[in-house]
Amino acid sequence: MSDAVDELLAGLVANRQTMQRQAATIDDIMEKSNNTLIHIESQNKALAPTTAAPADQKVYNVKPDCKLALFKILEGFNQLKQQNSVEREDKGSYLDGCLAFSQRVEHLGSTVRKLVALCDTVHQMKAHQEELEAEDQDSP
């Protein structure tokens, strides 16, 4: 029993060490990518014209209620985007549902064809039985 516990603890220690190494690697990658992004942004700012003509700059004086309305519009837009992303994720399940429904319809169709064939066979057997009975009545 203690051997199993020791193995389990050793496995947990190994997993924790692996996770720590992976976290350190991810941190290094994130640090490098952040530094690269900062470098790219600084180069873009250096290349951009430092002063723009006053005609190019547009300044808007907006009332606080207009700011609030704009904020609500943007918030609603973000919510719609999130709903659309959830719906896109659900499309796979919709497709699976449609495929399952199609398979059920095919199965039901196959079952109906079998039942029709069985019904025809029973009718043929009844007709054959009636013919035999008619022959038996005619022969005495």
Task: Write phi, then psi, for 48 (nearest 5 degrees).
Answer: -70, 150
Per-residue model confidence as pLDDT tens digits over 78-115: 777 777 666 555 556 667 777 788 888 888 888 888 88
Give the DSSP per-residue string, 21-49: HHHHHHHHHHHHHHHHHHHHHHHHHHHS-
Residuewise pLDDT in 10s, the chain (140 residues)? 678 888 888 888 888 888 888 888 888 888 888 888 888 888 877 776 655 555 566 666 777 777 787 778 888 777 777 776 665 555 566 677 777 888 888 888 888 888 888 888 888 999 999 999 888 888 76
Position of tokens 């109906």?
A: 112
